[in-house]
Amino acid sequence: MTRRALVVARWEFLTTITRRAYIVALVATPLLYGAVLGARVFAARVTSQGATTQAIAVVDHARVLDLAFASEQARLTPSPAERTDAEAGASRPMELVAYGEEPRALADLRARRVGAVFVIDAGYRTTGAVTVYETDSGLFGVVVGERRRARIADALRASLMQGTVSGDTFVRAYAPMAHAKSIQMDAQGRLESARTGLAVAGPVVGSFTPFLLLTMAIFLSAGYLQQATNEERHSKMLEILVSSLSTDDLVVGKILGLSAAGLLQVAIYAGLLLVPTLNLFGLVGVPLLKLLLSLTYFAIGYLLFACLMAGTGMLGRTSQSSAQLSAIWTLIATGPTFVLPVLIAAPNGVVARVLSYIPLTGPVTMMLRLAVTDPPAVDIVATMGIGLAAIYVTLRSMIALSRATTLMYGQRPNLPQLMRWLRQA
Amino acid sequence: MAPLPIRVDAISKQYDHVVALEDISFEVRPGEVFAVLGPNGAGKTTLVRTILDIIRPDRGRVEVFGRPFKPEDRDRIGYLPEERGLYLRQSVSEVLSYLGALKGLTQRDVRSRLSTWIERFELGSVVDRRIEQLSKGNQQKVQLIAALLANPLILILDEPLSGLDPVGARLVSSVIAECAAGGQAVLLSTHQMGLVEALCGRLFMLARGRCVLYGEVPTIKRTYASDVLFVQSDANYASSPCVAQVESVGHPDPGAMIRLRDGVSAPEFLRWLVASGATIERFERRSTPLEDIFVQVVAEQQRARQVHT
């Protein structure tokens, strides 16, 4: 790379980041996402609180329930169901209200004064029959319904054991796993206390971050890269430029400058998102080697797609047609996410390894694998080599394409022409 | 002896089944304005791009400064292409600074040269405006400055007067003449024959990728000179045995365009005129305008092609 390539890179970077469209997108995108996220969190919280704090009507024909005793046990030894209620943000656990007859309980259900009606059959002790009446709460009602059932089950368990067992035996029988301790064995066979909650989420989120950034960067930079090359082709500047510097320097400079503009946008968003959550997710807990490997794959993936986007911009007759063509690359880049469950379930399986060895899906797949496992060293070395080779071949092809398309204003090359140029590259 | 700025030696180029250039040879000397002429689609743009190493010829060779093209030669060639454009959203000074930097100039050099050319082309009032706010003529001047900024040894200008008013055209013509006078080799591709006649010492004409005319402009004009005379006198031309055809003209100078009979020379007719006792105010041989030569050569080529096919 020569000084001229850096001159081009500087120009492309500065002209892009001072564009009105870039600045508007930079400011508007986080505001829009923030508004959508805020609305979603608010709605979820309101819905959750409403569902979990609404009382449950109990019509106990079997007379097995001692609601006062059950409530006291729930306070002393919270079962998993009660702990879930607390974590869901409910200000108080679901209250159980005794009703003498079903019609009144059902009337209150219709009036939404209670969330559900549980009718315990007179022969419950022998049949176990319970009838549950609930309003249709859609998909999310299933979770709340499960919590109500767990709450009633806890109350029935406490009431049935009352007077039968006592002391520690009662406590163990009521919440047998309340004090369970988890030990985790690592890849080297060492034992350590299992991490839970945020301690687990931190490194995983940290490992996923480069993957998320890459897909975001590809989406954001794609527009700049294909738009800038397409505009330049149609503004007829290319011929002036290639009379002043080599096509190699021009293409490399453009890719560097426009990629830097896209990465600046990603870096700002990443800063906005990650800095406030660094302590929360414990990103410092991400193994350094994995982080470095992920960032290397990020660089390989980004450069590969940047070359492809720039080339696509040169091929299209208009910005719109280039955008349509470039959608192919963004689709392929995010392709591995369509088989995400398979990759997470078997990160070193056949699907994961095949996708890793394909240049276009390799970087994203490897970042996903690094997030959930330790891929074999041979995969890491081979996929990096394939990625670097793919960048070189793509860059040479883009340079040949740029040279050829300089002479073809307003025309799109046909397939035989395209193949001839690429062979010449 | 200093190497020739441009030497094109028997180059040929073919696109698929279309012959763009066939066995083209010429040279451009230092300090001359050399015209490349030809009808649309003749191969002029391909020829210029081949000189600039944007296109590689299938056969033959192009030498710049006495050797094959080298990357550093780009800094010594100023180019105004036929298909031209500018970055419309940036200011005049920003665009020219960028293009100057691409030619290897430092920011300091760019600033000092820019102020000279901006003043010369009378663009001082628009230097900080965005290109899209400029008139077509001023945009053309900016593009010319871009070609001239690095003080190149070779200038390749494709239709440099396009979009300019007569004042701007005269200014640009004088700048081109000064560049040649300063030792720069100027290759001029244009359809404006007046400009060629005013500035160019030699020309090269292409038709369908082949050379159809090459040489000194005065020699070519003599070769294609007609036997038409322009005469201002009170003689009765119709009574002359030398005259085949008379056409009166009133503008700009009133007189007669006279075509002589075959075998009669201009001195013979002049002798008859003197002998007739007429008062003669003007007697001159009318040279054929370059434009007519161009049209004639192109028409001959088309006829030859039709016969061939």
Cα–Cα dist B256/B259, whole Å: 10
Structure confidence at residue B228 (pLDDT): 81
Cα–Cα dist B58/B55, whole Å: 9
Tell me whether residues A235 and B83 touch, CB distance under 8 A: no
Structure confidence at residue A207 (pLDDT): 58
Q: Find out whether B48 and B189 touch, Cβ atoms under 8 Å.
A: yes
| Cα of B203 to nearest chain A Cα, Å | 23
Q: Does position B83 have pLDDT exceeding 80, yes or no?
A: no
Comparing A390 with A346, the larger pLDDT belongs to A390
Structure confidence at residue A108 (pLDDT): 92
Q: Does position A81 have pLDDT exceeding 80, yes or no?
A: no
Q: Does position B212 have pLDDT exceeding 70, yes or no?
A: yes
Structure confidence at residue A64 (pLDDT): 92
| Cα of A299 to nearest chain B Cα, Å | 28
Cα–Cα dist A61/A250, whole Å: 84
Cα–Cα dist A226/A310, whole Å: 5
Render pLDDT for A342-367 as a digit per residue (tens, 0 to 9): 888 788 889 999 999 999 889 888 88
Q: Find out whether B35 and B196 touch, Cβ atoms under 8 Å.
A: yes
The number of beta carbons lying within 10 Å of the beta carbon of residue B94 is 18
> Contacts of residue A403 in chain B, CB cutoff 8 Å?
54
Q: Does position B74 have pLDDT exceeding 70, yes or no?
A: yes
Tell me whether residues B81 and A243 touch, CB distance under 8 A: yes
What is the overall mean pLDDT for chain A? 78
| Cα of B86 to nearest chain A Cα, Å | 6
Q: How many CB pairs under 8 A join A and B?
A: 58
**8-state DSSP, B59:** E
Q: Taking a contact as any Cβ pair under 8 Å apart, which residues of chain B between 65 and 124 contact chain A?
A: 71, 74-75, 77, 79, 81, 83-90, 98-99, 101-104
C-alpha distances (whole Å) from B285 to each of B250, B251, B261, B265, B289 are 18, 17, 15, 11, 12
Tell me whether residues B83 and A241 touch, CB distance under 8 A: no
Lowest mean pLDDT among A39-43, B244-248, B272-276: A39-43
| Cα of A221 to nearest chain B Cα, Å | 20
Q: pLDDT-derived band of residue A228, with 50, 70 and 90 as boundaries? A: confident
Cα–Cα dist B278/B269, whole Å: 12
Comparing B172 with A142, the larger pLDDT belongs to B172
Report the residue of A244, A405, A407, A419 to disrupt the B interface, i.e. the one with the largest count of B CBs within 10 Å: A244
Structure confidence at residue A140 (pLDDT): 60
| Cα of B10 to nearest chain A Cα, Å | 22
Q: Find out whether A328 and A311 touch, Cβ atoms under 8 Å.
A: no
What one-letter code names the amino acid at B48? V
Read off φ and ψ for residue A195, nearest 5 degrees. -85, 150
Q: Does position A123 have pLDDT exceeding 80, yes or no?
A: yes
Tell me whether residues A236 and B146 touch, CB distance under 8 A: no
Tell me whether residues B88 and A235 touch, CB distance under 8 A: yes
pLDDT more than 70, % of chain B: 98
Tell me whether residues B85 and A245 touch, CB distance under 8 A: no
> Contacts of residue B81 in chain A, CB cutoff 8 Å?
236, 239-240, 243
Interface of A with B (CB under 8 A): 4, 7-8, 11, 15, 19, 235-237, 239-246, 403, 406-407, 409
Peptide bond into A287 cis (omega under 30): no
Q: Does position A86 have pLDDT exceeding 60, yes or no?
A: no
3-class SS letters over A342-393: HHHHCCCCHHHHHHHHCCCCHHHHHHHHHHHCCCCHHHHHHHHHHHHHHHHH
Per-residue burial over A406-420, b if 16 or more Cβ lie within 10 Å, else e, is bbeeeebbeeebbee
Cα–Cα dist B237/B247, whole Å: 10
The number of beta carbons lying within 10 Å of the beta carbon of residue B78 is 25
B236 burial type by CB count under 10 A (0-12 exposed, 13-18 middle, 19+ buried):
exposed
| CA-based end-to-end distance of chain A | 18
Q: Does position A333 have pLDDT exceeding 90, yes or no?
A: no
| Cα of B58 to nearest chain A Cα, Å | 14
Mean pLDDT of A114-134: 92
Residue B19: beta bridge partners?
Answer: B14
C-alpha distances (whole Å) from B234 to each of A136, A145, A321, B274, B275 are 115, 120, 72, 11, 13
Q: Does position A424 have pLDDT exceeding 70, yes or no?
A: no
Q: Does position B218 have pLDDT exceeding 70, yes or no?
A: yes
Q: pLDDT-derived band of residue A420, with 50, 70 and 90 as boundaries? A: low
Question: CA angle at residue B177 from B175 to B182, to 5 degrees?
Answer: 95
Mean pLDDT of A360-382: 88
Structure confidence at residue B120 (pLDDT): 93
Mean pLDDT of A282-306: 77
> Contacts of residue B49 in chain A, CB cutoff 8 Å?
239, 407
Tell me whether residues B103 and A244 touch, CB distance under 8 A: yes
Token representation of residue B259 = 């075509």
Residue A58's Cα: distance from chain center in Å? 41
| Cα of B146 to nearest chain A Cα, Å | 9
Report DSSP letters for A228-275, one per residue. HHHHHHHTT-HHHHHTTS-HHHHHHHHHHHHHHHHHHHHHHHHHHHHG
Look at residues A253, A418, A423, A251 and name the one whose alpha carbon lies nearest to residue A325: A418
Structure confidence at residue A395 (pLDDT): 87
B139 burial type by CB count under 10 A (0-12 exposed, 13-18 middle, 19+ buried):
buried
Token representation of residue A246 = 């080599």
> Contacts of residue A240 in chain B, CB cutoff 8 Å?
79, 81, 84-85, 99, 143, 146
| DSSP three-state, residue B82 | coil
**8-state DSSP, B210:** E
What is the overall mean pLDDT for chain B? 89
Q: Does position A41 have pLDDT exceeding 70, yes or no?
A: yes
Lowest mean pLDDT among A81-85, A375-379, A396-400, B94-98: A81-85
